[in-house]
Chains A and B, each alone.
Chain A
Amino acid sequence: MNQPVGLQTGEENRAPPSPIREFWHYFTENKGALAGLIVFSIVCFMAIFADWIAPHNPTQQYRDAFLTPPFWAAEGSTRFLLGTDAVGRDILSRLIHGARYSLVIGGIVVTISLIFGISLGLIAGFSRGIVEILIMRAMDIMLALPSLLLAVVIVAILGPSLFNAMLAISIVYLPHLVRLTRAAAITELTKDYVTASKVSGAGVMRLMVITVLPNCMAPLIVQATLSFSNAILDAAALGFLGMGAQPPTPEWGTMLAEAREFVLSAWWVVTFPGLAILITVLALNLLGDGLRDALDPKLKRQ
C-alpha cells in the first residue's frame, strides 16, 4: 500500500512520504474537496460555539414579531437577520443550533453503524459457514427494503424520537458496511502476512482487530463519510415526516415540517432550513469524493 510515490524529486528528500502526507497531497489537489472541508469546518465551528454565535435563544418566542421576513425584505429588520417563524423564534439562531443536531446525528449514526457493521463483517469474513450465511442473508433482506421505508417502520415500532430515528438509520446503513468489511476481510485473509501472523500464534481477536482490520479501512472511511451525509439527509427526512426530533427541537428537518403550512405565505421559513441541509450535505459529499480519490490506489496511478 505504501509504495513510494514521486512527490518530490529534490535530492534532499528521497524517502517515501509518510502516508498522511501523501494523502494530504492528493486530497488538496482536489479543489472541491478542499471547499467541502472548509464549509464543513465552518458548520462544526457554528455547532460548537452555537451558544455564543447565535444572536437569540433558539426557543425564545418573540410575541411582537411573528413571521418577520429576512432583513433585506421590505418589512424585515436587522434584529432578526433571517426572519422569524410562526411563533416568533429567530430562524438564524435556530439554524445555528440545528447544526449541532445534524452533526451529532451524523456522528452517532456513523459510530453505531461502524461498530456493528465492522464487527458483523469481520465475524462473517472470519467464520465462513453457517454464521456467515445467516449474517449475509439478513443483510440481503434489509437491502430488499427501501432504506427510508425500513427506517420509518423501525421508528414506528420504537416510537418517534430523535434517538430512535438515529438508531433506525444506523440499522439501515448496516448492510453496506457489513458487505464492504466482509469482502475486504476475505481478500486480506488470503495474504501471506495474515498466514505469517497465524503461524506465529496470533489469536482470532488479534488477527481480526490488529492484523486484518487496519488494511480494510480505506473503503470503510469513504463509506463512513458518505453515510455521514446520508444520515443527515435521512434524519431530516424522518424529522420532516414527524418521526425524528420532535418540536420545538431546532433540528433542520423538524423545522421544515413545522414550516410546511407556510409554504405559500412565508417563503423564508421554508427556504433557509433546507438550504442549511443542502449546503452541509453537499460539503460532506465533496469531502467524501475527495477522500475516495485520495485513498483509492487505483485512481492514484493515473
Chain B
Amino acid sequence: MTEAEAIRLAQQGDAGAFERIYRLHSRRVYALCLRMVGNPAEAEDLAQDAFLQLFRKIGTFRGESAFSTWLHRLAVNVVLMKLRKKTLPVTSLEESTDPEDEANGPRREIGGPDLLLTGSIDRVHLERAVEQLPPGYRQVFVLHDVQGFEHNEIAKLMECSIGNSKSQLHKARMRLRELLQETLRDIARQERQEAKAGETG
C-alpha cells in the first residue's frame, strides 16, 4: 500500500491504513518529540497525541502540501503547545534560557587550543550533548539543524523574532561545541589512563 493509498483509505476510516501511516512516520515523529523534550515518557505521550490529532484531522488533508510536512508541523505544534502549557519560560525565547549566558555573555574560545570535532564525534556524542542543552536552545537547534526548519518558520512556530531564533541557534551550537570538546577531552584522558595502566600492569 503506497502512502497516497493509505491516506485515501484512512480518510474512509480504514484501520489498516491508519497503521500503515503510523508505521511510515512514527520513528521520525517520536525522534522529534524525544529530542524536543529530552524525556522518553513525555515523548511517547506527545507522539501519541500528535498521531491522534493527525488521524482526527486526516479527513481535511487535501494534498496541497506533502503529507510528511503536514504531519511534521502538526507534531511540532503539539510539542510546543505542550511545553507552553507546562512551563512558560521554556519557550519564551525573548529571554535567554541559560542564566549563565546573561551573566557572562557567550562563552568564547576563539583562538583557544580547541580540539577539532570533525571526524572525532559521532551521532551518539551529539545526541548526548543535545540532551544537555537548556530547553530553549535545544528546541531551536532541533527544529533548525535536525528537522530542517527555516528561521522564519521557527519564529512563527515559537512566536519569537527571526533574530532571536538565529541567536538561540548560535548559542546552542556554541554550547554543543563546548560539550563535545569536553567529551573529547574525557575520552583522551581515559585513553591516557588506560595506556598508563597498561604500562605499569
A-B interaction:
no
